Amino acid sequence: MADLTTNFAGIHSPNPFWLASAPPTNTGEQVMRAFDAGWGGAVWKTIGEPITNVSSRYSSIDWNAQRMMGLNNVELISDRPIEVNLREITEVKRRYPRHAVIASLMVESTREAWHQIVKRTEDAGADGLELNFGCPHGMSERGMGAAVGQVPEYTQRITEWVKEVARTPVLVKLTPNVTDIRVIARAARRAGADGLSAINTINSITGIDLSTFAPRPNVDGKSSHGGYCGPAVKPIALNMVQQVMADDVDGPSIPLSGIGGIGNWQDAAEFLLLGCTSVQVCTAVMHYGYRIVQEMIDGLSNWMDANGFATISDLRGKSLAKVTEWKHLNLNYKIVAQIDEALCIGCQLCHIACWDGAHQCIHVDRVSGPGGAKGPINGHVEVHAKPREMGRERIVTTPIPKLDPPRQHIGPYATSLERIPRVDETECVGCNLCSLVCPVDDCITMVERPTGLPPQTWAERSEGSECAPP
């Protein structure tokens, strides 16, 4: 079985699965239950001067009857006294010395306040510190959280203050609510941060109640922008993780704890492949509880075994080299869609997607239609008419058993040939759309059609050209 132990800039944990600073890490009791369930580490719910929260704090986006594709919150940092949180950290570390406890911190932007909280937290026994420069709501209005993380100079200065006294590794948590997350990451690196975590939640309004016209979550008739997280944000998080990890301006990258929509081992593996050293999870636990970590450990371990990865470091960052700028992509690589007729169920979603949403090269013309369709013809289509719905053009009656012949079925496949779309390869641009909408696994595959040309990128093609981009 693969070795999942993790060393994040000197913070050790039995596996790379940490709970993110959030409601699941609000109390010592919760964190201990999480460790019992299998979590390797926990970033404590942000400690600072206690705040008062509003009632009604979360809202979510459902998608196609599935709950919580995205979650939004207007909850602030811990509402519990600093000394209570620190006492519980001590207790947890006493009972779980092998697990990682990282204290998330946020105090007013003075050197004294930061020095004081760092010392108290380390004295309590925390394994590391995570500076919350990312909280996008409420705290930022008071000059903390994202108000710090959106300004590189502030990020650098406060990180420097912390590093002046810190004895444990210091992570800076980055907000995604910036134009270029790398600028903030560089500031943290310049200040001597030992690691980063990204991303914090994204500014959002999840939706509006169409009967009251009030956005959600509703706090006495009004709402405020909240922090968005959950499965919906994973692609954004992956992109920002890649940007930070591939950035070598102002020095080499430092360890990154990946956050954003991670709910299973596959998500986690993706973050690790883009260079993360650990991952943090919140929404999935808020949805299903701590128990989900078992599946994550098991799945990651099995996948690592199957791919010959003995340790997390064996796979970390393996995908980074496979991300490049568009101008370095090969313009002479050509693929086309291929439909496996034996698997096709005849939904024709590829046809209408290609017709209305792409390049009009997937046709339903294998069999001449009742309206006089002529059968397969290749070439550019420019017909100002909507695609035919032949089903509506036929008189049909309920088939009576033993009386009516079975429905007309054409061709050797399970689906009648008249319903199986056909790709006109002369027009296919290889966009993938049909294979994305096809509901059957492996039915539409994109296959390479060698162009006979050597690989050539846009950068190469436009080299020396007068209209080359700067």
Give contact residues for another protein (rule: CB under 8 A): 64-66, 344-349, 351-352, 364, 370, 387-403, 408, 414-415, 419, 439-440
Measured distance CA(123)–CA(280) in Å, rounded: 24
Residue 361: active-site member: no
Q: Can you tell me the distance from the alpha carbon of 214 to that of 210, in angstroms, rounded to the nearest whole number?
A: 8
Sequence-distant (6+) residues with CB within 8 A of 72 are: 58, 59, 60, 61, 201, 204, 205, 206, 216, 217, 226, 227, 228, 229
Distances (CA, A) of 67 to 60, 234, 314: 8, 16, 35
Tell me the three state secondary structure of residue 159.
helix
Smallest distance from the beta carbon of 226 to another protein, in angstroms?
23
Residue 258: is it exposed, middle or buried by C-beta count within 10 angstroms (0-12/13-18/19+)?
Answer: buried
CB of 365 to another protein, least distance (A): 12
Helix (H) or strand (E) holding 88: helix 82-95
Contact partners, residue 273, CB within 8 Å, separation at least 6? 315, 316, 317, 318, 319, 320
Between 7 and 415, CB nearer to another protein = 415
For another protein, give the closer residue by CB, 372 or 452.
Answer: 372
Is residue 202 classed as helix, strand or coil in its secondary structure?
Answer: strand
User: What is the rounded distance in angstroms from the CA atom of residue 431 to the CA atom of residue 294?
Assistant: 38
Nearer to another protein, 208 or 414 (CB): 414
Minimal distance, residue 339 CB to another protein, in Å: 13
CB of 416 to another protein, least distance (A): 9
Which of 135, 344, 350, 443 does the annotation list as catalytic?
135
Contact 56, 219 (CB under 8 A): yes
- The smaller minimum CB distance to another protein, of residues 64 and 179, is found at 64
Give CA angle at 256 (122, 118), nearest 5°. Answer: 15
Cis bond upstream, residue 217 (ω within 30): yes
Give min distance, CB of 208 to another protein, in A: 14
Q: Estimate the crossing angle of helix 82-95 against helix 111-124, to 10 degrees.
A: 30
Of the candidates 241, 410, 445, 260, which has an alpha carbon nearest to the alpha carbon of residue 335? 445
CB nearer another protein, residue 374 or residue 402: 402
Smaller CB separation from another protein, 179 or 397:
397
Please state the closest distance from residue 352 (CB atom) to another protein, in A.
Answer: 4
* Sign, Cα dihedral of 220, 222, 226, 232: positive
CA–CA gap between residue 214 and residue 160 (Å, rounded): 42
Give the nearest distance from C-beta 196 to another protein in angstroms. 38
Q: Closer CB to another protein, residue 1 or residue 440?
A: 440
Task: State the greatest distance between any 2 C-alpha atoms of the chain, in Å, as a whole number.
Answer: 91
Strands 226-229 and 256-259: unpaired
Q: What sign for the dihedral angle of Cα 21, 25, 28, 33? A: negative
- Looking at the Cβ atoms of 249 and 395, the one nearer to another protein is 395
Minimum gap (Å) between residue 42 Cβ and another protein = 35
Q: Output 310 or 414, the one with its CB closest to another protein.
A: 414
Name the minimum Å distance from CB 414 to another protein. Answer: 6
Contact (Cβ atoms closer than 8 angstroms) between residue 210 and residue 167 = no
Report the amino acid identity of residue 367: V
What positions carry a catalytic annotation? 135
